A and B are shown apart, each in its own frame.
Chain A
Amino acid sequence: MAAPPRCSLLILLAGLLVVASLSTLAAAIYEDQVGLADWHQKYIGKVKQAVYHSQKSGRRRVVVLTEENVISSLDLRSGDIFWRHVIDKNDPLDQLSLSLGKYVLSLSSGGTILRAWNLPDGQMIWETKLQTFTSSNPQLHVLSNNKVAKDNLVLVSAGRWMYAVSSIDGSISWEKEFSLDGLEIKQVLQSPENDIVYAIGIAGSSKLALYHLSAKTGEILKDIQESLPGGLCGETVLGSDNLLVALNKARSSLFLIDFKGDRISYNKVHISDLVQDLSGTFKLQTVSNGVIALRTSSTISLLKLKGTDGLEVVQRFDQPAAVSDALTISEKDDAFAVMQHVGSQIEFIVKFTNDVSSEIIREKVNIDQHRGNVEKVFLNSYIRTDKSHGFRALVVMEDHSLLLIQQGEVVWSREDGLASIVDVTTSELPVEKDGVSVADVEHNLFEWLKGHMLKLKGTLMLANADEVAAIQALRLKSSEKNKMTRDHNGFRKLLIVLTKAGKVMALHTGDGRIIWSNLLPSFRGSRFGGMPSALRIYQWQVPHHSIMRENPSVLVVGKSGAESSAPGVFSILDSYSGEELNSMRLDHSVVQIIPLMLKDLSEQRLHLIVDSNSNAHLYPKSPDSLNVFLHEMSNLYFYSVDIQTNVIRGYSLHKSCDLIGDEYCFSMKELWSIIFPSDSERIATTETRKMNEVVHTQAKIIGDHDVMYKYLSKNLVFVATVSPKAAGNIGSALPEEASLVAYLIDAVTGRILHRVTHHGAQGPVHAVLSENWVVYHYFNLRAHRFEMAVIEIYDQSRADNKDVMKLIVGKHNLSAPITSFSRPEVAVKSQSYFFAHSVKAMSVTQTAKGITSKQLLIGTIGDQVLALDKRYLDPRRSANPTQQEKEEGIIPLTDSLPIIPQSFVTHSHQVEALQGIVSIPAKLESTTLVFTYGVDLFYTQLAPSRTYDSLTDEFSYALLLITIVVLVAAIIFTWIWSEKKELRDKWR
């Protein structure tokens, strides 16, 4: 009799707990907690164009355009960002210019979109759409001090179109389409009187066309065409005001073309006469005033033009080196800079164009060796106090970083390689050494107490403004989180990131500072000819510190070329120091990398690399790892997705491959394949469970004391296909012709466990698979809203285990082996909801033991990250939940998912161009570490079910102390009182 009431009491308690936690579903932070556990870093990417704003007074700025499609204004003194706009990838930026000293003009989308931004604050002033062909090489030319029109005209040329746009309001003042077929305008320049515009273009392979246009109306004043013998390859540079230098089709000689006269006159110069060691490709770069630079793979030659008569080599620099564009210093002088490497230093040389052989400045600058070679230089001058010219330069390095060099020193540097992160892994920090000084602790005790008194004042709202600031500073300064040792809660870790430039950097989770960085030599272009690319980063060796006194290491896998058959490259780095321990060039290609859950005796993780010949290679190549692997090989299955042919294939491995004598090479045997009909379905996305995910409970107890067993298989694969017409963007397909099919596939047998069709739905599809559920996001064309759907899959074959009788008789199948080959009886529940935003990336929180409830981390189109509780995506939600379901914590069904502003983990920050969200479990079960990357980086700690296993920073120790003091005082008081009373009793 006693049991039921206790049971109901328990349920009531549980219900109370759930209700209590429901009210706090949004785990938000207070405004004064910003920066305590999170950090946000802003980047711009590799600079490809920089324009200085020459302002006499005020803050000096430079406006830059980067390969990450960012346009930004930087403070020239500190390198800080004044403002920044990340333009969409579909709208690539081409050119940048300044106009009227207050507008920044940007040309994008192949010369079709021209925008003007306000220089001080970055507000967009106007945007003009130009109706042209998208051209690969559009030109932007701002007419200088135009006396013809009132405002400055901006000339945009793309293909055979030319537009003149007013820079004040963006209105098109004239447009011109040249009649010559296949014409591409290469150069636009102005006559000294500013009223005539020269446009030089190339039509077809050999025809050179020159137009003289009226700057005011765009009328063609003169039209000269000339065919050049031998043809042109299209590469041209402007030698001087009246001389064009063009490369011929065979890329063996240069045409020196004078175009200022009545007709085009030209002269041909063989390059081999100028440069002897001509091997491979070379490039021309215009400097100015009759000086051009010719870049070959080994040298840079400065060439001086002698009219049309010829060229002479003035000076030669060994590569790696870089030459800047010319900078006008005075009426007659143009200066340019050359950067070259001398030993471990770089040399900064400034010259005048009319006397190339002499040097104005030659400075040596010490530079971090992990920055690689100089790639670009942008020269700028300033007036020194003695009225002479000083020079400084922005330098773009091989690792995408940006440096400002002035007076032989690096004034500031920006690590903009972090704007293009390719992959992320983590590493634990070293264990703290024994023998922490006690004096340190004692010294800090007073400070500690003072801090807590301040905090108490803060919580009691008694603190004044100064004290609030002091509290903030105290919290930020708390060195605890920035220590270089492992902590008890596992909050302090190293985030090891791999960037597009092939640089590996370790960031501290405490404040995001760079602990070490290494530009991997094996991924640098100069070494193997072809442009290598780094692909992924994995944990290679994670020694258990109590057994092995060795540092952990990470593995970087890459390719030595762009094509899929290019040989792979391995590099192994020490996680604590960043030193490269080993690097090797593989003799096979890398198509798929499969990190295994196996370790060899030295605790190295086993990895399988699948090459383009369908062989799998085992790493590390040691007899020990082979032993471990052979033991497990029969249980190993994997699959590959071929989006081109619309096929998913499953494989197992067999001993011996075609390469005889290589015992680490295995052949793949195709077990199954699913071919999707390409006329009705296209693979949109595939998703599988994270290898390291931990699941705590296999069963779920629902309100009516029933048990549901989760179908937990590491081999579960989610595949979404869309109809071919719906593969494009929203707006391109009608609801009738669009459909989305979601599959759950067992990757061992290829069996389709579940299939569901969403009619009138289309991509882009983003999915996340965890435990026994999958959540995916798509667009519903009928409702014209985004939707999120959830599928939960349960194992029915174990459902009869609940029967106690069967358990006694022994007919249960608890001990029966679970194998993927037996036909699983599964039950599937699903539901879908509307969601307001587009999604860029989706992820799920991971905790150490998998007990804490899960949150979905959704990267929205506004570059924010929303934490959405998984309970909102529960297929058992219904409009009117029963009492039992309410007690269980099921939220009543609503048609759309709530977006609670407080549950944005990025709070008021944006992670521009958001790319990926990584959740890393901390040692503390309640907490997970979230790292979000794009052009920006954002890191925070998240507790999906609140910090139930630790006291928060908010916890007031002082209040606790006061309570204890009050209690002790009360005890003493009562004691004395009681003793007095006793004495009185005894006297009576």
Chain B
Amino acid sequence: MAASSPLHRHLLLLLLVAVASACLGAAAAHQAGSGEGYTIAGRIKIDGISAKSFGLPAKTSNTKVILNGGQRVTFARPDGYFAFHNVPAGTHLIEVSSIGYFFSPVRVDISARNPGYIQAALTETRRVLNELVLEPLKEEHYYEVREPFSIMSLLKSPMGLMVGFMVLMVFVMPKMMENIDPEEMKQAQEQMRNNPVSFSGLLSRAQG
């Protein structure tokens, strides 16, 4: 939905790659092998926070950006920007955790051969991103929406069915009786006379 629309109203800072200055080689020595790291910078964009997301905190102050399943976690600034520094070349995964929204994880390839070349793609939809602007695929509503009151739903409930059936018996059954063949009716009435059963009799017998 939102992911497929290529419209970005603002032109945003693109994926930015900076090679860490070489004089900090000692600092980067913690990293496996390579003496330089890259910076992954991007932006999180959440549109229309207020209107639809009922019951959710409208604040996005707790939006976390997670690199490689928890290796590093950072927070988005108020304007949505985030950055990971000193990331080695390779293929990485960025996840966004923000309550109320579903973000697709993003695959980020940092090329070792041509420094500065970074590719990003959503893993859920396989859409390639030209710029690292992460938008939620959809909003998440955690609550079931109450259906408005309707006669139908009332009638569909077991109690409604019970009442309905009774009404049917009271009003429709006599009509059906009328349609019965008079011969058969007579026979039945004869039987009834021999063995008189009336509704009131039934009830009074039950009481007695």
Residue numbers of A with Cβ under 8 A of B are 28-32, 34, 83, 85, 87-88, 90-91, 115, 121-127, 129, 131-134, 459-462, 729-732, 764, 779, 781, 783-786, 836-838, 840, 860-864, 896, 899, 901-902, 904, 907-908, 910, 959-960, 962-963, 966-967, 970-971, 974-975, 978-979, 982
Contacts and interface: CB of A to CB of B under 8 A. Distances in A.
Interface in B88-109: 88, 90-93, 95, 97-100, 102, 104-105, 107
Output the residue of B88, B93, B100, B157 with the most chain A CB within 10 A: B93
B124 A779 contact: no
Contacts of A962: 159
Contact of B123 (A125, A785, A861, A863): A785
B99 A862 contact: yes
A902 B88 CA distance: 38
B195 interface: no
Nearest to B147: A461
Given A126-B77, A731-B93, A978-B199, A90 B123 contact: no
B95 to A, nearest CB: 6
Contact of B68 (A731, A860, A959): A731
Given A90-B70, A129-B85, A901-B102, A784 B199 contact: no
Nearest to B87: A731
A732 B62 contact: no
B143 A90 contact: no
Interface stretch (B5-13, B20-28, B42-50, B180-188): B20-28
Interface string B181-208: 0000000000000000011110100000
Given A460-B149, A901-B102, A908-B56, A133 B73 contact: no
19 contacts: A29-B144, A30-B146, A31-B55, A88-B72, A124-B78, A131-B27, A729-B68, A730-B92, A730-B93, A732-B90, A836-B104, A837-B105, A838-B66, A907-B142, A907-B143, A971-B203, A975-B199, A975-B200, A979-B198
Nearest to A966: B163
Nearest to B66: A861
A387 to B, nearest CB: 38
B61 A121 contact: yes
B141 interface: yes
A959 B159 contact: yes
Contacts of A907: 142-143
B69 to A, nearest CB: 4
Nearest to A87: B73
A731 B61 contact: no
Nearest to B60: A123
Contacts of B140: 901, 904
Contacts of A840: 70
B85 A784 contact: no
Interface residues of B, number: 71
B59 interface: yes
Contacts of A837: 95, 105
Nearest to B90: A731
A731 B69 CA distance: 10
B69 A779 contact: yes
Given A90-B71, A729-B69, A836-B104, A124 B166 contact: no
A970 B70 contact: no
A908 B55 contact: yes
Given A31-B55, A731-B91, A764 B69 contact: yes
A902 B141 CA distance: 7
Contact of A901 (B64, B73, B142): B142
A248 to B, nearest CB: 30
Given A28-B143, A837-B95, A121 B59 contact: yes
B71 A731 contact: yes
Given A124-B77, A975-B203, A960 B69 contact: no
B162 interface: yes
The winner among B55, B62, B107, B146 for most chain A CB atoms within 10 A is B62
B77 A127 contact: yes
Given A30-B143, A90-B72, A133 B27 contact: yes
A538 to B, nearest CB: 30
Contact of B88 (A123, A124, A731, A970): A731
Nearest to B109: A784
A31 B62 contact: no
Contact of A125 (B26, B70, B78): B78
| Top 3 A-B pairs, shortest CB-CB distance | A862-B97, A901-B140, A461-B149
Contacts of A908: 55-57, 99-100, 142-143
A785 B140 CA distance: 21
Nearest to A979: B200
A435 to B, nearest CB: 36
B71 A899 contact: no
B96 to A, nearest CB: 9
A974 B171 CA distance: 11
Contacts of B200: 975, 978-979, 982
Contacts of B148: 461
B83 interface: yes
A163 B96 CA distance: 31
Contacts of B55: 31, 908
A838 B92 CA distance: 13
B111 interface: no
A764 B71 CA distance: 11
Nearest to B89: A731
B52 interface: no
A30 B142 CA distance: 9
B95 A731 contact: no
Contacts of A979: 198, 200
A124 B75 contact: yes
Given A28-B143, A784-B107, A836-B124, A960 B159 contact: yes
Contact of B144 (A30, A732, A779, A836): A30
A115 B123 CA distance: 30
A125 B77 contact: yes
Contact of A967 (B70, B149, B162): B162
B170 interface: yes
B113 interface: no
Contacts of A783: 123
A913 to B, nearest CB: 11
B130 interface: no
B30 to A, nearest CB: 7
A132 B66 CA distance: 23
A126 B163 CA distance: 66
A85 B75 contact: yes
B76 interface: yes
Contacts of A971: 203
Given A121-B59, A730-B93, A967-B163, A904 B142 contact: yes
B109 to A, nearest CB: 9
Contact of A732 (B27, B32, B56, B77): B32
Contacts of A122: 61
Given A127-B77, A978-B198, A982-B201, 11 more contacts: A30-B145, A31-B143, A91-B72, A131-B21, A461-B146, A781-B91, A862-B64, A862-B98, A908-B142, A967-B163, A975-B203
Contacts of A966: 163
A211 B90 CA distance: 42
A737 B113 CA distance: 20
A129 B28 CA distance: 12
Given A29-B143, A966-B163, A83 B26 contact: no
B173 to A, nearest CB: 11
A836 B105 contact: yes
A908 B201 CA distance: 61
A960 B124 CA distance: 48
A975 B26 CA distance: 99
Contacts of B170: 970, 974
B68 A123 contact: no
A425 B145 CA distance: 35
A730 B64 CA distance: 18
Contacts of A30: 143-146
Contacts of B104: 836
Contact of B74 (A127, A862, A902): A127
